[in-house]
Each structure stands twice: as C-alpha cells, then as structure tokens.
C-alpha cells in the first residue's frame, strides 16, 4: 500500500523547509518571474498560484520574486523597521538575482541572502530580502548587496515604489536605502520566529 502522503503536494508556505542553511541559504518559492506582467500570489488556503492583479503600469519585476517558506512578518519583523507598527502578516518576500533567464514561476530554488530593501506600506513592514541564485555562474560569488550593479538595485527600488500604482490611485509606499546581509539575517530570523509563534498549532 503506497504512502498516500506522497500523493499530495505540500503547501509551499507551510509544507516546505525554509532552506538548507537559513538565514544564509534559503529555499525560495517563486511566484513571479521577470517576464510577468501579471501579479501572481500564492493562494493561502490552497497553496496554488492565484492571479492577484494585472500590472496596470509598464513596471515589471527585474528579478525573480517569491517568498521563504515557514516565515511570517509579525511583530518581531515590524520591530526591526523604523515607523512600522507590525509586519504585513504575509510570508517574507525575497527577490532572487539570476544571470540565466528563468521564465516560469511555481518553482523552488536555493538562494544565497545578500541584503534587503526596507519597504513600509501603510505602517506595515514589508521587507524585500535580496538574494542571488546559489551557484549562479555570474552572481553566485556575491556576498553583499553593494556588490550588485547599482542599476539593478535602482530598478528594484523603482519596481516596488510603483508596482501598486493604478491610474486612479498612485499607492504610495516608502522604500528605504538597501541594507546589508547582517540585517537581512536578522529579518529572516525574526520572520522564522514570528512564524513559529503564529502557526504553533500546525505542529512540526
């Protein structure tokens, strides 16, 4: 008799490990790739990708974009950002730089954390961790965010400043200066602890 647990796909938020060596090497579930003009987001009850909204501006994500499993942006994550009252109550977002084009979402990869962007949205901390694809032939040796091209960081900042705009409402978020790997590690640890507290009833 086969083990029926193997017949079911694990939930990408709750059913996967956060990585081989977090907070340095983390598993990433990719929701959006740089070619997407639609904002996809994991459906929290089912774990499938859902269409959140079509992008209404010409802004497109310059990197792969997803989240780290078993993370949650709660009060610990919020406490690390000036002006935040709380985290945004979602899994921790991560942007992954890759030299080779990855053209599809709904995939897993291993990423090496190098820094992050502090984003404040309606007084909620919505950090964007920045990472590189592990063993990437061009970016794989990068260890700090300031080793990335400035033009790429500028594009990331511009994307997050504009990706919620609509013709009727230019939704304003605050994106601060990039932070280095040491602070990114603190944010990830806080998000792992927030997850353990929020979802303790799910068990191991």
The enclosing H or E element of 162 equals: helix 150-162
Q: Which of 34-43, 52-61, 137-146 has the lowest mean pLDDT?
A: 52-61
* pLDDT tens-place string over residues 68-81: 999 999 999 999 99
Name the 3-class secondary structure at 159: helix
Write the burial class of residue 9 (CB in 10 Å: 0-12 exposed, 13-18 middle, 19+ buried): exposed
Radius of gyration over alpha carbons of the chain, in Å? 16
Q: Is the pLDDT reported for residue 192 higher than 50? A: yes
Q: Which CATH class is domain 12-199?
A: alpha beta
* pLDDT tens-place string over residues 85-127: 999 999 999 999 999 999 999 999 999 999 999 999 989 999 9
* pLDDT tens-place string over residues 122-147: 899 999 999 999 999 999 999 999 99
pTM: predicted TM-score of the whole model, two decimal places: 0.93
Residues 6+ apart with CB under 8 A from 170: none
pLDDT at residue 1, rounded to an integer: 39
Tell me the C-alpha distance between 98 and 91, whole Å: 22
Tell me the C-alpha distance between 50 and 42, whole Å: 6
């Amino acid at each position: 008799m086969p083990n029926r647990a193997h017949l079911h796909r694990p939930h990408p938020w709750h059913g996967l490990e956060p990585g081989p060596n977090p907070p340095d090497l983390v598993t990433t579930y990719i929701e959006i790739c740089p070619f997407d003009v639609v904002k996809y987001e994991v459906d929290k009850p089912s774990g499938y990708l859902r269409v959140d909204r079509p992008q209404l501006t010409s802004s497109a994500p310059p990197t792969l974009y997803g989240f780290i499993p078993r993370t949650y942006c709660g009060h610990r994550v919020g406490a690390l950002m000036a002006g935040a009252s709380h985290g945004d109550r979602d899994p921790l977002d991560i942007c992954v730089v890759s030299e080779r084009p990855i053209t599809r979402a709904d995939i897993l990869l291993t990423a090496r954390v190098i820094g992050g962007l502090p984003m404040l949205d309606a007084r909620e901390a919505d950090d964007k961790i920045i990472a590189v694809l592990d063993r990437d032939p061009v970016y794989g040796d990068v260890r700090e965010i300031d080793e990335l091209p400035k033009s790429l960081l500028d594009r990331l900042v511009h994307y997050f400043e504009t990706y919620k705009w609509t013709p009727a409402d230019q939704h304003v978020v605050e994106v601060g200066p990039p932070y280095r790997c040491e602070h990114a590690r603190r944010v990830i640890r806080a998000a792992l602890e927030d997850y353990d507290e929020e979802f303790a009833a799910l068990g191991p």
